[in-house]
Structure 1
Amino acid sequence: MISGLGLINVYQFFRDVKKMEEPQWLKDRMAKEDPNFVIATCGEDGSSELCAETLNLFAGVYGAEAGNIALKVLARGGVYLGGGMSPKLLKTLQNGTFRKAFLDKGRLSPLLETITVRVILDQSCALLGAAAYAESRAAEFSGMSERAASRHQ
């Protein structure tokens, strides 16, 4: 549910099961454009109640799962949200729904209050991380790191 595919499923749930109105202009945009982009844009700017409700539920589930993971790994250094969705949903992630669900862990809530949550805005972050990992693995096999070698010249 916490993915691009999940977002459209939540939208369809509100539209089809909860019978929220999907105006014709929104239906047209959903047919012509990337549905996730439309939901994110129209939910963030408030032009569609259906999209805003979709993002609100998405943020709540995202926050709850992020809180679960933070507890599982005891993320004392913080939780960093990456990927394609988080940077596009900053307004939604900051409206309180995410944080409330993140902290809703009963007697463990005070521990989560000490853990910061940040959104990674750099779209190349995953590639940089993969490159750093590849370099470190190569250094294990070769006994030398290209980055370390360039610092000693």
Structure 2
Amino acid sequence: MSSNPALPSAPFPWLLADVGGSNARFAWVAAADQAPQHIRTLAVAEYPSLLDAARAYLAGLSLGALPGGASSQPRSAALALATPVTGDQVRFTNSGWSFSQAELSAALGLERLCVLNDFEALALSLPRLRAGQWQPLGGGAPRWDLPVAVVGPGTGLGVGGLLPNAAGGKGWLALAGEGGHATLAAADDFEADLLRVARRTHAHVSAERFLSGIGLPLLYHCVAEVQGQRAVADVDAPWILERALADDDAVAVRTIETFCAMLGSFAGSVALTFGARGGLFIGGGIVPRLGARFERSAFRERFEAKGRYREYMAAIPTPLITDTLAALDGAAQALSQT
């Protein structure tokens, strides 16, 4: 997505949203050069539709969040969604929400609506990241004169890319795809056994099947079976993370170790595919929760372990995005470039 000087600026105020499978995060921008404000997170499961969630957020603004006399009626909106955006009808991959872009725009009374994939938005946020929103993790500092990419394990697994100065303009070209659904590869016999077990119930084992919030329980049970260990029957991602960080469940610990290692291999493949010599950013809500355990993990070693391309990979930074609201900045960038 690149800037187009023929188009006037999207009229303010702006409604921004970053909508995943579990949460919908909303924000407000009242004027140019203003960072997203009045951020509120709503649970997807508590609202019948995206329109209902948006109206609930806007109703909250009208109840005193905005300065006296300010209108809570947006004139423009940018929605970053955890699903492919291929036409007017949008259906979410990991929730029951669906909507028509034209109908949503009319219902909210918008003059301009920008709908994009959430990792397209996260990619657009990368050059806007401020100190405190990211931390280095090997390979030096990012370079903005080269392509960069982002991989993010959250509820699902997102992938995006970013090219500088698209078509000679002043903006950026974000590349949205569904890389999280690419086939997951094994790097050793243990991982091959994990994939063999997973294929009993999933004919296609994508990266998201293991490297995401919805995938961690499957990875946990595969690890238990391959190691011949007893597993807790009914687990979810928060339980696995909690037990692993507390070191009180051996299967959970090995699950997170395996998660970090396989994420490193997958992220390295994404960097090679995009030619992301400027950096491979790690986003999503899972990795920031791992803290020092992620830094000590095999992630970076496996990221670089690309045979003849090890030296090439060693020079690529892998910064960690610590602000889980960064995609809202990207949504604002997308709207400013429409």
TM-score bracket relative to the smaller structure: 0.7 to 0.9
What's the TM-score once normalised by structure 2's chain length?
Answer: 0.36
Paired residues of 1:55 and 1:92 also in contact (CA < 8 A): no
Q: Which structure 2 residue ranges, 5 or more long, are not aligned?
A: 1-209
**What's the counterpart of residue 279 of structure 2?**
78
How many Å separate the matches in 2 of 1:130 and 1:45?
36
The structure whose residues are more often helix, as a share, is: 1
Please state how far the C-alpha of 1:17 moved relative to its aligned partner: 4.2
**What's the counterpart of residue 54 of structure 1?**
255
Correspondence 1:3-152 to 2 at 5 A: 3-22=212-231, 27=232, 35-137=236-338
Paired residues of 2:211 and 2:259 also in contact (CA < 8 A): yes
1:91 and 1:38, CA in 2 relative to 1: closer, same or farther beyond 3 A?
farther
Farther off after superposition, 50-59 or 125-134: 125-134
For residues 131-150 of structure 1, what are the alpha-carbon distances to aligned partners after superposition, in whole Å with 9 as ceiling and x for unaligned?
A: 2112211xxxxxxxxxxxxx
Q: Percent identity among equivalent residues? A: 29
Paired residues of 1:66 and 1:102 also in contact (CA < 8 A): yes
Secondary structure of the structure 2 residue equivalent to 1:79: strand
How many Å separate the matches in 2 of 1:21 and 1:4?
21
The residue type paired with residue 39 of structure 1 is: I
How many Å separate the matches in 1 of 2:238 and 2:316?
30
Please state how far the C-alpha of 1:7 moved relative to its aligned partner: 1.0
Paired residues of 2:261 and 2:297 also in contact (CA < 8 A): no
Q: Which structure 1 residue ranges, 5 or more long, are not aligned?
A: 138-153
**What's the counterpart of residue 143 of structure 1?**
none
How many Å separate the matches in 2 of 1:92 and 1:98?
10
RMSD of equivalent CA atoms: 1.8
How many Å separate the matches in 2 of 1:109 and 1:74?
14
Secondary structure of the structure 1 residue equivalent to 2:227: coil
Please state how far the C-alpha of 1:93 moved relative to its aligned partner: 2.1
Secondary structure of the structure 2 residue equivalent to 1:3: coil
Paired residues of 1:44 and 1:91 also in contact (CA < 8 A): no
> Could you list the runs of 4 or more consecutive aligned residues of structure 1 that deviate by over 4 angstroms after TM superposition?
none
Higher relative contact order (CA 8 A, sep 6+): 2
How many Å separate the matches in 1 of 2:257 and 2:304?
16
Secondary structure of the structure 1 residue equivalent to 2:281: strand
Aligned residues: 129
How many Å separate the matches in 1 of 2:318 and 2:245?
20
The structure whose residues are more often strand, as a share, is: 2
